[in-house]
Amino acid sequence: MMIFLSFSRCIFFSLLLFLLAFSPAVQADVSIEFVLDGSGSMWGQLYDQYKIVILKRGMENFLEKAPPDLRIGIRGFGLNGGEGCSNTRLLLPPVMNAYPEVLQAVKRMNPSGQAPIIFALRKGLKDLKKAEGKKLLILIADGRDSCETDSPGAVEKLSQALSNEEIHVIGLGLSAEEDRTELKLLAAKANGNYYNISNSSQLARRISGIVDRAIREEKERLRLLAEEKARQAALAEKTRLVVEFVSHVPGFFCSKMRLLDLQIDGTPLSGMETFEIGCTDRVRLYDRPLAAGNHTIILQYGKDNHGDFLKSRPESFTVKVISGKTTRLECRTAGHLLYWGLDSTVEEIDSP
């Protein structure tokens, strides 16, 4: 039994080392929702180009070289057909590797109305609510919110609704100080960054920079998580309880011994009722990982004295298992005045 348990531990640690050394590269799970300005001001020009054209071409340039396995969604605001300060629509829910669909959703945008930015971002947070991993909202707009009367208060309320999301803001040629101030505050309050661009190439580069950083951060988070899980697994394997039974009954009092019951925290170990050993013997009954903390062990044995079978009293022991250590409980047969029982010692040793 002891040889088998030692062999099992060797297999466990060999497998653990193999997984750590040869596990495939961590694949980051990143969900991005672009919240895009479709307000009427996007028909304004920036260096002889319509802002909406800069937005569409910048998105197209980004998608042509986008990393694989991104989950991307598109939400627009101020679009044709909407109404006032509730004018926002989810044009495409976040979907993995649906880059052609993303591009088509952007190309169909037709700017028309107002700019309910905060309202659209609140909706965007709900769009990403069920997503796993890293979650980003990327706002691309040519000005501040045109609907909120208390912009700082609305931004503060939005920031309080965040859990682990980030909101990054890209301004399309913002020249007005009020616009830049408000959108910079929004990004700062929402765990993100603010950028200002003036053409489609700059837009594509800024988006790529935001996305690449998010992927790196998520990969690092997952790598550290995997390392911590492996560390916890190794620690759990090293946190063990060993129960040994030692019999030293003289032959004229004993012909054989039988273990009748072994319970760990109220759970009986199967096979104990037929476990026979010699009158002078040492056996390891239990050698397994067990959570750190106090545990109750109950042990009972029987002594066959040449046909006269006597049961010991069930003995109960409270043992504190120490994290990262092997806690060894040694139970020894002991003849007391009126009954056969057990003496015990507990020691903590380094786990192999």
Give the pLDDT score at 186. Answer: 96
Which pair of tokens denotes residue 53? Answer: 């054209």
pLDDT (tens digit, 0 to 9) for every residue of the chain, 352 residues total?
333 344 445 444 444 444 444 444 546 799 999 999 999 999 999 989 999 999 999 999 999 999 999 999 999 999 987 778 999 999 999 999 999 999 999 999 999 989 999 999 999 999 999 898 999 999 999 999 999 989 899 999 999 999 889 999 999 999 899 999 999 999 999 999 999 999 999 999 999 999 999 999 999 999 999 999 999 999 999 999 999 999 988 877 888 888 999 999 999 988 777 788 888 999 999 999 999 999 999 999 988 887 888 888 899 999 999 999 999 999 999 877 677 789 999 999 998 8
CB 162 within 8 A of CB 191: yes
Which pair of tokens denotes residue 245? Answer: 């039974």
Model-level pTM?
0.76
Structural domains in the chain, sorted by start: 30-227 (3.40.50.410), 239-350 (2.60.40)
Which pair of tokens denotes residue 314? Answer: 């069930």
**Can you tell me the distance from the alpha carbon of 340 to that of 324, in angstroms, rounded to the nearest whole number?**
35
Give the pLDDT score at 192. Answer: 96
Query: How buried is 318 (Cβ within 10 angstroms: 0-12 exposed, 13-18 middle, 19+ buried)?
Result: exposed
Which pair of tokens denotes residue 91? Answer: 């044009």
Rounded to 10 degrees, the C-alpha dihedral 93/99/103/106 comes to: 20
